Amino acid sequence: NEVGTITVGGACNSSNTNASASNNTITFGTTSALVDNTSYGNCTIRVTDTANNPSSVLSVTSFTIDTTAPTLSSTSPADNERSIAITDNISITFSESMSAASVTTNTSNTSCSGSFQLSSDSFSSCIQMASSPSSSDNTTFSITPSPKPFYSTTYKIRVTTGVEDSAGNNIASQYTQTYGFKTSTTFPTTAGAYHTCTILENSSVKCWGKNDSGQLGLGDTNSRGDGANEMGANLSSVDLGTGRTAKAIAANRVATCAILDNSSIKCWGKNDRGQLGQGNTNSLGDAGSEMGDNLTPIDLGTGRTATAIAGGGWHNCAILDNSSIKCWGINSAGQLGIGSTDDRGDGANEMGDNLPSIDLGTGRTATAIAAGGAHSCAILDNSAVKCWGKNDAGQLGLGDTNNRGDGADEMGDDLDAVDLGTGRTAVSITAGYAHTCALLDNYSVKCWGDAAEGQMGTGKTFDLGDAAGEMGDSLTAIDLGTGRTATAISAGRSHTCAMLDNSSIKCWGSNDSGQLGLGDTSNRGNTVQGDGSSQMGDNLPSIDLGTGRTARGVITGEGLHTCTIMDNSSIKCWGYNASGQLGIGDTDSRGDGANEMGDNLPSISY
């Protein structure tokens, strides 16, 4: 509180020697050159006033010289990682403790603000986050997207030079993932002919709807969701076994299969053609003591596990950990792809090492699988599509109506890839009862096969892919509307749905039970409107999901209903509901009459 002379001692020195009668700032040096990442702990300060009275010695708290820029050690998910769950948090880890105030993100809009960013469009916009980044140690910081990310979408993480360590050093340069990470292609909800199942956020499984063969996995044959007080907490989870949870699920017409957390597969429901893969034809899940630890996983072969599962009419297919495919169940048209019409899984010694992998061609492996009514399709590692099985409507896309896979020399290199058009490849595949659709690399959609109900979306009802000159560049992409592209597709029994780039859903084809969600029972895509204009494109309405609601995925089944998971993680279903498959406590169809969609359509309580 008075003027004087400053004396600095110990390991430090200072050019500041005059003290004023107010606050003083002292800049330290040392008796030798400062050494980065070195601690200094014996520096002292004394002030002597003009009367030569010295103050008490002030010992300076130990300090460390830090001029080293922090680095980004890792990201989660990692660059080029695949099959990331949309519920996973996004995190970044630094080489040292950071200033938490400098690690920021955008929580109010989709601008690319903040130092920790996530984008699906090369940072033209960024994903909005639920809250600011959180950290327990100031080294690893996590963010939670809100709404959740989309399925089967590539995202990139970016960290700007705005982040700094606790000493104020910024990272030397901005980091952006080169390839990004891709979210899971596995939609956690599946639909059979008359039942629906979903994987909850705790990785348990719940199913509702028709249960005449135990396809709900509840140890009885009582339907669920068709009456009051059967859903929500009153709906039991499927017993998958002690400590077991699910990471993927698929329903065929009358059964359900799940890939468990240990990458094994368990199936339950109707088993008349061996579709449960148990070496017999006994249904499972329709009586007590058949589920849980009593339900045997499917034998996929020595050391083999599953990475993807698809359900068809009465058959199932799985991609294994070596990227091969095995299918089992009914094989009347060669849909198992093994060069015969003999069912597999309905008798002893037909599964495991005795079940052949499908020959996809020399050096070829699978990245995606789809199963239809009596045909199967795969996307290969070169992004080509191959289909086999029944082909009466051209659903294999090969320009004829000859089945494939039901005889010798029809698979492997002898099986042609589907011609998707010049330079076009597939990123997603879906199969209906007798038609197939692919989401292409330019995010357009092409469909082929049965067109009787308008599921081709061409305004006509003649099949495509069953004759020469109908595929490739001659096959027109579906008109989704001006400037619209697709991000996901799903084919039902005789209808097709797409989730668009604006997170809306459009459906076309058969609509006898309101499965298109348009408030009537008129098909779309099978003819032209009264004035001669198309029913598709801008004339095809998006489905009303409710005020402010958008879609995160769409699923159709072997039956006549459609479901979506929305941005708030709730599920809504519409269409045929005779067995409670819509999960809303009655048997009234929805979407076939006015005022049944949007806010009037309840979300499912599960």
Residue 531: its pLDDT value, please?
A: 82
- With 80 as the cut, is the pLDDT of residue 42 above it? no
Domain 427-606 architecture: 7 Propeller (2.130)
pLDDT at position 67: 85
Helix (H, G, I), strand (E, B) or coil at 5: strand
Cα torsion through 6, 8, 13, 17, rounded to 10: 0
Listed range (26-40, 132-146, 316-330, 449-463) with the worst mean pLDDT: 26-40
| Least reliable range by pLDDT among 13-17, 104-108, 455-459 | 13-17
Residue whose C-alpha is closest to residue 316's, from 367, 267, 365: 267
CB atoms within 10 A of CB 426: 23
Handedness of CA 543, 546, 552, 553 (dihedral sign): negative
Q: What is the DSSP letter of 387?
A: E
For the stretch 478-516, pLDDT in tens is 999 999 999 999 999 999 999 999 999 999 999 999 999
DSSP one-letter string for 243-271: T--EEEEEE-SSEEEEEETTS-EEEEE--
Mean pLDDT of the chain: 94
Q: What percent of the chain has pLDDT over 90?
A: 80
Residues 6+ apart with CB under 8 A from 171: 69, 70, 71, 72, 159, 161, 163, 164
Predicted local distance difference test score (pLDDT) of residue 8:
82
pLDDT at 9: 81
**Domain boundaries, given as residue ranges, for the chain:** 4-64, 427-606
The pLDDT value given to residue 10: 78
Provide the percentage of residues in the chain whose pLDDT is more than 70. 99
pLDDT digits (tens, 9 = 90+) for 322-369: 999 999 999 999 999 999 999 999 999 999 999 999 999 999 999 999
Given a cut of 90, is residue 410 above it in pLDDT?
yes
* Least confident residue range of 20-29, 63-72, 321-330, 554-563: 20-29
What pLDDT is recorded for position 395?
98
Per-residue pLDDT at 409 exceeds 90: yes
pLDDT at position 322 is 97
Q: Compute the average pLDDT of residues 201-210.
A: 95
| pLDDT value of position 33 | 65
Chain centroid offset of residue 537 CA: 26
Whether pLDDT at 32 is above 80:
no
Tell me the average pLDDT across 115-144. Answer: 94
Per-residue pLDDT band at 83 (split at 50, 70, 90)? confident
Which residues on adjacent β-strands are paired with residue 94?
Answer: 72
